Chain A
Amino acid sequence: MEIVYSISAFGILFSMMLALIRAAQGPTVFDRILAVNMFGTMTVLFIGVVGYLTNRPDFLDIALVYALMNFIAIIAVLRYRDFSVDPAEEAENHEHS
């Protein structure tokens, strides 16, 4: 079974590398966010697979925390990046919430 887990781990690592390339070269800031998001998902899977590879799959808590923190980081990025937003629309949304 180790061979299956290691192929899977290396495949996910390769996929992480590709996401990293996109995060490093941009070109727009959105590409970076996209790549970071995908990288986070890959990390979750990677931790899961490594847990099986080292024969302690009860460490999936960590993967769960990764999924959560990734989401929060992405929301933070979108929230605090200065996007040009229409002020009128913003005020309207303020009332709705």
Chain B
Amino acid sequence: MNFIIAASSATHDASTIGGHGTFHYILIMALMMTGIYLILSRSNMIKSIIGLNLFQVAVIMFYVSMGKVEPGTAPILMAEDVPHAEHDGHHDEAHDADSHDAPPAAHSPDPKKDVELGAHTLDHSKKVTVGPTTSKVSKITYSNPLPHVLMLTAIVVGVATTALALSLVVRINEHYGTIEEDELEDKGVLI
């Protein structure tokens, strides 16, 4: 049972006709909608903050989903892409020159070939043929690391700003005795 081939070939078909290709994005947008609704509809401030968190997770998921390459795996180089390079600090010039004319894409240019190669490496039951380690032509497809980096820091910053919002809520509660926006409006604090 080779689900990876099936999934990736389906995506390649879909990318031309726009079938289930953008389905994930629609799911994520629906999640964003629930987040927005929660922020706007609730008068309770903690509920609004929870809604903000949901919205944030949806945005992060949107970014991360754009970085996914279909037969790919996480962008941590696997053993066959890690040449046992010299650890004495000297850099091989020939090696460097060799790597410059490597295929630039995160995948090989021919999508069909890519699917087959990806299947070969990712299929659990088949034997993996270890390629020449010095060459930069990898048989493994990796997902795009850039969105991961941006979103990783965004999550930590997100919790820091959430804590800031929560501390404001605590102060408001101490000062006015309520965390409901409606009640603050009734008191004439909030216009």
Contacts and interface: CB of A to CB of B under 8 A. Distances in A.
Interface stretch (A18-26, A54-62, A85-93): A54-62
Contacts of A56: 73-74
A6 B1 CA distance: 11
Classify chain B's interface size. under 10
B73 A54 contact: yes
Classify chain A's interface size. under 10
A66 B11 CA distance: 32
Contacts of A82: none
A95 interface: no
A55 B74 contact: no
A76 interface: no
B122 A3 contact: no
B73 A2 contact: no
Contacts of A3: 1
B23 interface: no
Nearest to B2: A2
A2 B3 contact: yes
A81 to B, nearest CB: 15
B124 A2 contact: yes
17 contacts: A1-B124, A1-B125, A2-B1, A2-B2, A2-B3, A2-B124, A2-B125, A3-B1, A6-B3, A54-B73, A54-B122, A55-B73, A55-B122, A55-B124, A56-B73, A56-B74, A59-B74
Give 4 closest A-B pairs by Cβ, nearest first.
A2-B1, A55-B124, A1-B124, A3-B1
